[in-house]
Structure 1
């Protein structure tokens, strides 16, 4: 039985903990643990409904889609059909990865408009660009062109009640005359129109510390990809908590980052299989990080 006295004591202890470690105040919220569905790309292609059921049973409440195309939609499912499966499993899709290569290159809005409609049907908050093809990101001028395109797409998304986000790999951190493509993207985009989904693995892979980027650009990183690095082969992923990335120190700075949502992702090196891997990652995050 919770008495008034124990209620007061418990709340006093919680307040004291926040005063001792104020950076924990943001992460003490039991955040929803999301999964980037690319982690289960083979399984989704074979059985999307069954795979999403297993994602929910693993404890995830939020997913990030990938692979939408005008022709095949989501692995053969229409956005309406996918939304029904998500709803029946208590899942939501706050964000989705949509390849908008034609828009970024030549301004063709066909893919962008289709992606916006799909994201609206899924009731997503973010439409996220996951990749820029190599020929179109060779120098600073290319990144400035990309930034201008992102601002335009961000405005279109904003008009439709969505937010546009950009997801990084490692190539954005290559040196271009003393700066990086990533820094150009941050500087040249309107923070009211373009948000960033930081892939923590690729930042560390590039030799950088995510916390330094948070301090340099506070509030710009509204989403994260949480993906661990194998201790032996840094080119491989592993389950969260089994690799070499110090996620505890990164999660301590979630508030400064501006993070509202994060998604587990594992592209390879599953142990022993993808479903066991996502369970292991979920359990580590829920018990050790949030």
Structure 2
């Protein structure tokens, strides 16, 4: 049995499809889980409740933690540490291996221009401190010899059906509405994005590779060094519109955040967009022998879906 905790999100759905290559026994866990494959076992659970997590993990060989919480600092500080403790305790009790789908928030600002698995941990944001704490929880158990686990780390992601993607929300959706695109902080800086289908394929592969455990892995991400302007121009060309855009500064996010809480939450993360942001996945590429989908190919899938939905 391989179990996905947080099965309905941007990664959980394609991950369930990819796991079919490895097992016919897949359990999907969420508050309101829905089948992805016909043979999936559905298990409703609240991951902040220890007893429910324990029951959800029971009988699992590999557990994938792909849950996403509301993008709100208070929610993250209150719920993430509890959720992670529940998952780790359950995996230890039932001798299940853990694959934690993670982001880059815990890296020190100086690492952002070229991130590797060995980049220093030194978060300056409160959300980053939460994420660093989660990684510490995992490796404390690993180093104690009571848990086998790995970190599958992604850059900002993009792909079809992903409403929370910066490319989708700030560029594609705005062009669909006839508005200007928006970009955070500085559109002249390089910014890496991980394609969700690549992330899901790689996460399934890692979870089913015994020698991948007790390590951090960057999920396959294009080596192309495109700037915000490059992405905007590419998307505008695909959509047949002029590449008009405006910049979301910290000040503007604070003002608009009065009416749009999500923008207020982005202010402390703006340092990830005012400098180059390059995500190096060469460790994965060399070990598993494949590379990420080129941006033009992945972006076209995302744009085509948006245009179909519009029509």
Under a length normalisation based on structure 2, what TM-score does the superposition of the two structures give?
A: 0.33
